[in-house]
Structure 1
Amino acid sequence: MFIVFEGIDGSGKTTLSNRVARELRRAGLTVRHVREDGRLASPVSEGLRRFTRDPLHLALTPVAELLLYAAREAQLLEEVTRPALAEHDVVIADRFLYTAEVLARFGRGLPEAEVRPVLDTCQRGLHPDRVFLIDVDPAIARARRRASKLLAKDRSTPSRKGLTGTGLQARLRAGYRSLAVASPERWSIIENTDVPLDEQVTRLVEDVLRARRGEAPLFHAGLTRPTVPVRSLPEARGRFLARLDGWTVDEPGLAAWFLAGMEGQDVEARRALLAERCPELIAHGLAGLTHPAAWEWRHRLEAAAPEHVLASLTDDASDTPEAWHLRERWEARAPEAVAASLTGLDSERAWLMRDRLSRTAPEPVMVSLSGLDSARAWDERWRWLSSRGGDAAFADEGVARALCRSLRGVDSERAWEWRERAMAVAPDAVLRSLEGLDSPRAWALREQHAARAPKAVIGSLTGLDVPAAWKLRETFGVACEEVLDSLTGMDVPAAWRLRTVLADTWPSATVKSLGLLAATARGQALTLELLERHPHDFALLRQAARTASQLEEEPRHGVA
C-alpha cells in the first residue's frame, strides 16, 4: 500500500507522516518511509532537493524547476519507492509528483498541457492508494516554521522558493485543494490547525488500517465551514484570543508566537501562562514594545532567554534608558546578542559599546552598521573584512551575506562595489540590501531580478513613495502579499488605492499595512468590511485584535 502526505511547507505533513509510520510499525506492519525524519532516502534526490532550494540559483526558470522537481521524484521512485512496495506492507512518502505539479501549474503558472506529459513519464502508471492533504492556513504554517527556526537557532539561508513571497504558499494551497476535490476517491483533506497531534495521528493510522481492510475512509476531500460574521473589533479580538487559548495546551509555541507585538491586560495574562514553557518565543514577541509591561517581561525573562530579550530591543525600544541598562548587564555574558541589538544606532554611546565588543563579537558589530555610511562605519567594515582575508573573502557566502546586511540602505559608491562582488554568491542578500534606496542602480537591479525574487525586491521598497515604486507594487500586487508590507502606515492616495484593489486577495496584510491608520475612522471601516467578508481568516483576526488594542490605548498612541 502506497501512502502519500502532501501540503504546503509548515503544514505538519513531515511530523505526521513520521508519527504515522512509527504507529503502523507498532501495529505490526512492515513500513518504509522514503523520507524518514525529513531526509530523502535517495542521495541523488536529496542532492536535487538541495540544489532547488539554494538561493544562489535565483535564475532558475519555471520549466527548469519543473524538470528538476520531477527528476527528484523520479529518482526516488525508481531507486527506493518501487522496490519498497514489493517488500513492505506500507510505503509512505512525504511529497510525491503532486508537489511538482502544484508548484508548476498553480505556483508558476505553467499550462497543464505542458506539465502533465513530464509527470506521466516519471510516474509510469504508479498512483498512491491514499493521499493525505495536510491542510493549514498559510499564516499558521508560516508561524510554525518561524517559531521552530527561532527555537532551533536556525540561521540557514532562506530557500530559493521562499524568495517568491508568501503569496506562493496561498497559490500552492489552492492548487492542492483543487487536486483533492477533483479526486475524492484517492485524496483526503486533513485540517491540521486545532486538532491535537496525538489525536490526529490516531485518526490517520485508523484511516490507513481501514483502507487496508477495504473500508470507507474516515476523511473526505470536501471542506465546509459555516460562516459566522464578525461584527466588531472587540469581537474579533475575542475570537483571536479564543483560538490562542485552544493552542495553549497542545501547541504552546504557536500561541506564544501569535502574541508577538500585542498589548493589553488580556494578552499579558496569556503571556504569563506561556512564559515558563516558551520563554524564548515570549521574549521574541516583545520586539519594539515599550509599554511598562513589556519592560517588566524583559526583566523577568532575561535570565532564561537573554539573546531573545536583547533581540527585542528594536524600533522604539532600541535607544531607551532601559535598553542601555539591559545591554550593560549582558555585555560580558552575551556579547554577540548585545552587539546585534545596536543595529542602526549611530550615537556616541553605541560606538563606544561597539569598540568594547569588536574583539569578542566582531561580525555582529559589523552587521550592526546597517544603514550607516560614515567613515567610522566603513573603518569597522574594512577591519572585519581584513580579518576574514580581505577582498578574497567575498567568495565566501557567509562573508558576503554578513556584509550585505551591514550595507542595507547604504547607497555610496563603495557599497555598490561590494554588492557587485557579493552578487556571485549571495544574490538574494544583495537584493535585500537595497531597502529604501531610490538610485538608478538600485532600480536597475530590482527590475533585473523582480520576476525571480519578488519578495526580496518588493521588501526593499519599504516606505518609498516614488513612481517607480508604485509601478512595481502594482505589477506584483495580486501575486505578492509583501507589496502591502512595503507601504505600512503610508497615507497617500496611491497607498489607499492599492489597499482597495488588494483587500480581498490579502485581507490581513491590507489591515497590517494601515499601521496606526487602522485606528482612524477610514481604517476601522476597511477592517470591519474585511472581517465581514473573511471571518475565518486568522491573520485578519489578529490584525483586528491589534487595532482594538490601539483604540483602547488611543490617548497614549495619539491616534486622531
Structure 2
Amino acid sequence: MDNKGLFITFEGPDGSGKTTQIRKLADELERRKLPYLLTREPGGTEISDKIRAIILNPENLRLEDTTEILLYAASRSQHVKEKIMPALHERKIVLCDRFVDASIAYQGYGLVQSIDTIKTINRFATGGLSPDRTYMIDVSPEAGRRRMRARSGPEAGITRAAGDLDRIERRALAYHARVREGFFALYRENKQRILLINGENRPEIVFDTIMHDFERALKHWHGKTD
C-alpha cells in the first residue's frame, strides 16, 4: 500500500510495558516537533472504541472465539481507514499500540484458531497494510500477570479497580504462554521487520534499545521521502 508515512507498531504479551514505551517514544517525537499520531488497538476511533468495549468487557462470557476474531478485524478496518491511512498519507509517523500481529498471537496461537484464516481476514480488513517496523517487547506470563494486577484506571469504558483484569487478561496462564509463543513465532518469521526486546529489563534500558533502532529507521525513512 503506497504511502509516505512511517508506520511503527508496538507488540508483546500483556504486562510487557509496551504502552509505557510507546508513550515515551511519542514524547520524544513531540520534543523534536516531528509530525506523529499515537493510537492503539482495539480502538482508535469512536466506532472502534465501541467494539473494544465489547471485546474486553469481562461480562461477555459467551463471546465466541470466531466472533472475537471478527470483532478485532472490524475494529481494525475502521481504525485503518479512518485514522491510520490518512495520517500516513500526511507523511506522519504513526505509532500504534498493537496491530495484526496481536490478532495472530492472541486469537491464532492463544485460542488455537487457524493462523491462515486470521491472516486472510486481516489482509481484507487492513487493505494489506503492514508496519514498517515493530518493537516486540517480551515478558513472561507470570511477570506480566504481576504487572497487570498492579495497574488501575479506566479501560474500555469500564472502571477498573486495582488488580481488576479485562476479559482477555483474565484468561489462564496457559493461554498467555501460547500467546507468547505466538509472538516468538512471528518474530522468527519476520526478523527484518520485528525487533525483539527483553521487557524484563529496566524501562530505561528498553527505551534506549528502541531509540537506538528507531534512529536508524527514521534515517532510512528520511532517505526515501527526501
Which category of TM-score, normalised to the shorter sequence, fits these structures?
0.7 to 0.9
Q: Of 133, 138, 150, which aligns to 1:135? A: 138
Identify the structure with bigger relative contact order (alpha carbons < 8 Å, sequence gap 6+). 2
1:245-300 Cα offsets, whole Å, 9 max, x none, are xxxxxxxxxxxxxxxxxxxxxxxxxxxxxxxxxxxxxxxxxxxxxxxxxxxxxxxx
Q: Which residue of 2 aligns with 1:203?
A: 209
Counterpart of 1:188?
A: 195
| TM-score using structure 1 length | 0.36
2:54 to 51, 71, 74: 51
Q: Which residue of 2 aligns with 1:85?
A: 88
Percent of aligned pairs with the same residue?
Answer: 30
Aligned to 1:31: 36
Contact kept, 8 Å, 2:137 with 2:198, in 1: the verdict is yes
Q: Closer, same or farther in 2 for the Cα pair 1:193/1:162, shift >3 Å?
A: closer
Q: Which has the higher strand share?
A: 2
**CA offset at residue 117 of structure 1?**
1.6
Partner of 1:9: 14
Deviations 1:225-253 (A, max 9, x none): xxxxxxxxxxxxxxxxxxxxxxxxxxxxx
Q: 1:168 and 2:175 equivalent?
A: yes
Q: What is the SS of the residue equivalent to 1:162?
A: coil
Distance 2:80 2:42 in 1: 15
CA distance in 2, matches of 1:193, 1:186: 22
- The structure with the greater share of residues assigned to helix is 1
Give the number of the structure whose alpha-carbon radius of gyration is greater: 1
In the TM superposition, what whole-angstrom CA distance separates every residue of 1:513-543 from its partner, at most 9, and x where no partner exists? xxxxxxxxxxxxxxxxxxxxxxxxxxxxxxx
Give CA-to-partner distance per residue, 1:201-235, whole Å, 9 cap, x none: 233123112112239xxxxxxxxxxxxxxxxxxxx
Partners of 1:103 and 1:69 in 2: how far apart? 11
CA drift of 1:157 comes to: 5.4
Residue identity opposite 1:24 in structure 2 = L
TM-score scaled by length of structure 2: 0.85
* In structure 2, distance between residues paired with 1:186 and 1:175: 16
Deviation at 1:112, TM superposition (A): 2.2
Q: Spell out, residue by residue over 1:145-190, the C-alpha distance to the aligned partner (whole angstroms, 9 max, x if none).
A: 112349x982585422234312111111110110011111101101
- 1:58: how far off? 0.9
Distance 2:165 2:30 in 1: 35
Q: Report the CA distance shift for 1:110/1:19 in structure 2 as closer, same or farther (over 3 A).
A: same
Contact 1:23 1:205 in 2 (8 A): no
**Root mean square deviation of aligned Cα:** 2.3
Contact 2:149-2:163 at 8 Å conserved across structures: no
Structure 2: state its 5+ residue gaps: 1-5, 154-158, 222-226
3-state SS of paired residue (1:59): coil
Q: Which ranges in structure 1 are unaligned for 5 or more consecutive residues?
A: 216-560
Instruction: Give 1:81's aligned amino acid.
Output: I
Tell me the number of residue pairs that the alignment of Structure 1 and Structure 2 aligns. 211
